[in-house]
A = this chain, B = another copy of it.
Amino acid sequence: MTTVPPSPPLRFTGEDTVREGVHSREFRLDADGRSVPGLLWTPEGAHGRRPLVLIGHGASNSKRQDYVLVVAHRLVRRYGFAAAAIDGPVHGDRRTDGVGSGPQVFLGFAQAWMDDPAMTDTMVADWRATLDGLRELPEVGEGPTGFWGLSMGTILGLPLVAAEPRITVAVLGLMGSTGPTRERIVADAPRVTCPVLFLVQWDDELFPRESALELFASLDAPEKRLVANLGSHAAVPDDVFDDTIGFLARRLPWPD
């Protein structure tokens, strides 16, 4: 008999590029039998451990969403951090039909959101397995970790932040105490005990402002900041992204 070695927890597969000093690599990771597709961004030629930011994308999009790439590149280029994103449930490379984004993906998410009470638990488990795997990489290591996720990135990311003590600062928002997983969100909000910057769009057509303010109010963070901008759900001004990045960077000290 031979001993079958355990499969490696995180393996690089597919895209491996360097652009403007940012090394971008696709990875796959096995979590409870699921193959989790992700992207890792690190400074070109990075050595040694560094702060890491996990980025959750929005519904009907993927780990390659425009603003995910913007946030990741700025974190790497300005601060030398690592950043990583994984596809959400029924999104991106988790799909077998090759449909990358759009209404069809959104409907699939809405279906999963309504039907599957385990969707949140599954995504939290995938994120935690991803964090385990990333911390074993010498160019990431066991440094301080932040989370950045809006809209679906908060629906699935707030429970992650609540559950994961290694995450010590978070950017959340574009979401309220509402939706099919309202009970889960409301139950987890007081368990978010790290500093949080929370984004609200004043005229959000998906999640009413009042529900967003209610969710913000129920976070039990020792330091929390609400940043609300005029406009619809998707109309977050570009300079707000910069402020969220600065908020994270100032709270993720470089590890010794």
- The A interface, classified by DSSP as helix, strand, loop or mixed, is mixed
Total contacting residues, chain A, CB less than 8 A: 20
Stretch in A16-24, A26-34, A53-61, A222-230 with 4+ CB within 8 Å of B: A222-230
- Closest-CB distance, A24 to chain B (whole angstroms): 28
Q: How far is the CA of A239 from the CA of B227 in the complex (A)?
A: 13
- Does A221 interact with chain B (Cβ within 8 Å)? yes
- Closest-CB distance, A37 to chain B (whole angstroms): 35
- Closest-CB distance, A32 to chain B (whole angstroms): 37
Q: How far is the CA of A239 from the CA of B246 in the complex (A)?
A: 9
Q: Contacts of A243 on B, CB cut-off 8 Å?
A: 243, 246
- Does A247 interact with chain B (Cβ within 8 Å)? yes
- Does A121 interact with chain B (Cβ within 8 Å)? no
Over the window 235-253 of chain A, the binary record of Cβ atoms lying under 8 Å from chain B Cβ atoms (1 yes, 0 no) is: 0010110110011001000
- In the bound complex, do residue A242 and residue B246 qualify as a contact, i.e. CB atoms below 8 Å apart? yes
Q: How far is the CA of A31 from the CA of B250 in the complex (A)?
A: 44
B224, B226, B246: the one within 8 Å of A226 (CB): B226
Q: A224-B230, A225-B228, A243-B243 are in contact. List 7 more A-B contacts (CB 8 A).
A: A200-B226, A202-B226, A223-B230, A225-B227, A225-B240, A226-B226, A226-B229
7 contacts between A and B (CB under 8 A): A225-B227, A225-B228, A225-B240, A226-B227, A239-B250, A242-B246, A243-B243
